[in-house]
Amino acid sequence: MRAGIAASSEQVALAVVHRSADGKPHLVHCAVAPAAMGYADGALRTLLRDFELGTAPVSAVIGANDYQLAQIPAPDVPEGEMRDAARWRMREVIDFALDDSTIDVFDVPERRDRAARRNLFAVATRGDVPRFIASSLHRLTRHLDVIDIPELCQRNLCTLMPQDAKGLACVMLREDHAQLVLVRQGRLFVARRFDFDTGLDLDGSRPDGRHLDAGALALELQRSIDYYETHFDQPAITDLLVAPASSLSPALTAEISSLTGLRVHPLVLQEHLDVSGQAQIPDGWLPTLAIGAALRTAEAAA
């Protein structure tokens, strides 16, 4: 069993996934609560109290504005020195000071040209955010073992889909940006973020709310997929997964499909994840990320 926790400036979400002996995931709990202080909010204590985790490990998801992810050439140093060397490489590609940042790295899949230099995904946090998350959660649970990034949570969600075997694009829509990942066989190949000039009305609560520009999204999708197919010599991606499921109307789904030629699938987790009788899946991107965090396995640690 593993718990996943994700927090925003307005809510906190908790999801718990149990894996059977054959590794099949079962969602046993998922809940969302208002929380103005993120991981430091008392609402999280209530969620954890209402569902006793025991010794289950816990994954927390870092906020979208608290880190940057980039691809860099792998420094020519021993593995034990890779993070320190990556810190110097990241100074050239990120837009904030690295003095107090936490740096982590994981492999980018091999390129078509196997003689090409190895690349890494490198993650840099804004300040010491991981320590703040850890100190907040350690007051509530002693079993926090991972602070994850949203891209890897999306990767975990993609592994639920049969299309993951041949390659799959997944876009998660939030109010101010879209996060795209391209995944095949549980491996993250491409991750890109597209910011919006003004907020999207994802829940229909604003009468004059702005809706998604399908043309702009289609263009970015096509550019990313072209890069994936040529740079990594991968078969064509034909399927796009969109989360949360409620963020696309049938008309918008049809428009994106028409512009890209992709088969567009809203992510309906109940169709791909066994859900215990008492569990419900709240709508929205935050509980979806929490479920993605809870789906983490040792095999898919990076």
Give the Cα separation of 21 and 264 in Å (integer). Answer: 32
Q: Does one domain contain both 85 and 169?
A: no
- Owner of token pair 């100190």: 135
Evaluate whether 119 touches 111 at the Cβ level (below 8 Å): yes
Give per-residue pLDDT as tens, 41-59. Answer: 899 999 988 888 888 999 9
- Mean pLDDT for 208-223 is 80
Residues 169, 237 contacting (CB under 8 angstroms) = yes
Number of domains in the chain: 2
Phi, psi of 16, rounded to the nearest 5 degrees:
-130, 125
Q: How confident is the model at residue 252 (pLDDT cuts 50, 70, 90)?
A: confident
Residue 114, pLDDT score: 64
55 lies in a domain?
A: no
pLDDT given for residue 207 in this prediction: 44
Q: Taking residues 169-175, report their average pLDDT.
A: 92
Pairing mode, strands 11-19 and 2-7? antiparallel
Residue 227, pLDDT above cutoff 90: yes
- pLDDT exceeds cutoff 60 at 208: no
pLDDT of 204 over the 60 cut:
no
pLDDT number for residue 199: 57
> Which three-class secondary structure state does DSSP give residue 107?
strand
Are 123 and 172 found together in one domain? no
Whether residue 37 lies inside any domain: the answer is no
Instruction: Tell whether 224 is covered by a domain.
Output: yes
User: Do 183 and 261 fall into the same domain?
Assistant: yes
Residue type, 107: D
Full domain range(s) for residue 103 = 64-132
